[in-house]
Amino acid sequence: MRSLYNMDIIKKFMNKFFSLILLFVTSFQCFADSAYIGVDYMLTEIELSGEKAKPSATSLRVGVSNSNMAFEAQYLSANGNDNIYSMEFDLQQSIGLYFVMQSDIIEGVGVDISLGYAMTDMTVSGPENTYNGEDNYNGFSWGLAIHQQIPNLKHVHVRLAYQSFYNDSDIEINGVSLGVTYQF
């Protein structure tokens, strides 16, 4: 019982922490060169005991950048689910905050490295004799992206990215995404 109480306290703290960070990111706009918004389609992969489920998801990214660095808030929501051994894995949502190091854009191409923290919720359901429930995976998250500027639309970029949401000895949650970013 005490560990459940401690988890509730940690969740409440993290929600307040993320709210404050989100407020900071939005106020960072007054010091930023530009803001951006992006939408990605993501093929996620949940690896558990050597087996893989691959539900799909959609990601919304909002950020502000200044001198090749940015702060980015990201929200990911599931489009579908997948199963392993009759157990259905549904990556319900992930909320993350990232510090993004951006390369210079050379001939329309740039590279981004993201480091941050993600809170990922997953639901597992299956037959009565298997595990059924919702799990929260919170921790360090990172990503690597390459983006190409669209020639006639200089504020629009096509983005291909890999992102690791969570990784420990029991479970790994990551994804590959393809999306569009608009730079204001």
- State pLDDT tens for residues 108-146: 899 999 999 988 888 877 777 777 778 788 889 999 999
What pLDDT does residue 37 have?
A: 92
* pLDDT interval class at 1 (50, 70, 90): very low
Question: Which range (81-85, 87-91, 115-119) has the least confidence?
Answer: 81-85
Question: Which range (5-9, 53-57, 108-112, 142-146) has the least confidence?
Answer: 5-9
What pLDDT does residue 52 have?
A: 81
* pLDDT interval class at 16 (50, 70, 90): low
What pLDDT does residue 2 have?
A: 46
The predicted model scores a pTM of 0.75
Overall CATH class of domain 2-183: mainly beta
Q: What is the mean pLDDT of the chain?
A: 81
DSSP the chain: -HHHHHHHHHHHHHHHHHHHHHHHHHHGGGG-SEEEEEEEEEEEEEEETTEEE--EEEEEEEEEEETTEEEEEEEEEES--EEETTEEEEEEEEEEEEEEEEPPPBTTEEEEEEEEEEEEEEEEE--TTS--EEEEEEEEEEEEEEEEEETTEEEEEEEEEEEEEEE-SSEEEEEEEEEEEEE-
Q: What is the mean pLDDT of residues 15-26?
A: 58
